[in-house]
Amino acid sequence: MTPLSERQWAFFLAVAARVVPAVTSLDETGRERFAAIVGTALAGRPRSLQRQFALFLSVVRWAPALRFGAPFDRLAPAAQDSVLRWFMDAPAAKLRGGFWGLRALVFMGYYGQPEVWGAIRYAPSFSGNEFLHG
């Protein structure tokens, strides 16, 4: 489903757990929906962008070795968050943009599932006007 390799996907999930903690609470069906949404979104992008995204995942994985002496997935959660915050505010726009894209994919995979809407108190109705006045 996803253009990412198994290893890349496992790493993506590790980052996703920091971006949206509730990703780890998804049941098997929810995890499958998450994978399907992310996979479809990635597959619809140009191959060059897919390659750049895979490269960015590698950068996120290995860049922490310079500061923490270990790759991202071996860091404690607080250190992982610190790494992600650095990418979010990175001095280079390309790194910020890479993190923006990664983050957007995680949000799409999670919040794009109507099944989680109840947990975030979102319950739209085709007949919304009926609920406007109590």
Partner 1 sequence: MVEKTYDVVIVGSGAGGGAVAKELAPLCRQGLRIAVLEWGPKLRESEFTGREAEMADKLYFDSGGFLTRDRAMTLAFGRAYGGSTVVYTGTSLTLPEAVLARWGVPGLDHGDLRRRSEKYLGENNVHLLGDDALNDNNRLFAEGCRTLGYRVAQFPINVKGCHGSGLCNLGCPNAAKQGTNRVQLPAAEAAGVEVVTNCKVETIGERACTATVTNPPFGEPSSWEPGRYRIRARAIVVAGGAVNSPALLLRSRLPVQLPALGRYLTAHPALILVGEHEHPITNYFGHPKSYYCDQFVDDGFLLETCMYFPFTTAKNLIGFGAEHADLMGRMDRMQMILVLAVDPALPANRITLGHDGEPVVDYRFTDGVLDALVASQRAAARIFFAAGCRRVHAPAGASFFITAAEAGRIDELITREPFKLGKVSISSAHLMGGCRMGADAGDSVTDAWGQVHGVPWLFVADGSLFPRCSEINPYVTIMALADRVAERVRARLPELPA
Residues that bind partner 1 (CB under 8 A): 18-22, 37, 40-41, 44-46, 81, 84, 88-89, 93-97, 99-101, 103-104, 106-108, 110-112, 114, 116-117, 119-133
Smaller CB separation from partner 1, 66 or 119: 119
Which residues 6+ apart lie within 8 Å of 41 measured at CB?
105, 108
Which tokens is 37 given? 């949404």
- Nearest approach in angstroms of CB 4 to partner 1 is 18
Token representation of residue 29: 């069906």
Q: Are 107 and 20 in contact (CB under 8 A)?
A: yes
Element (H, E) at 78: helix 77-88
Nearer to partner 1, 28 or 127 (CB): 127
What angle do the packed helices 28-43 and 47-62 form, to 10 degrees?
120
Q: Which is nearer to partner 1, 11 or 110 (CB)?
A: 110
- Closest Cα partner for 33 from 120, 111, 126? 111
Least distance (Å) from partner 1 to the CB of residue 10? 19
| Closest CB to partner 1 among residues 69, 118 | 118
Minimum distance of partner 1 from residue 39's CB (angstroms): 12
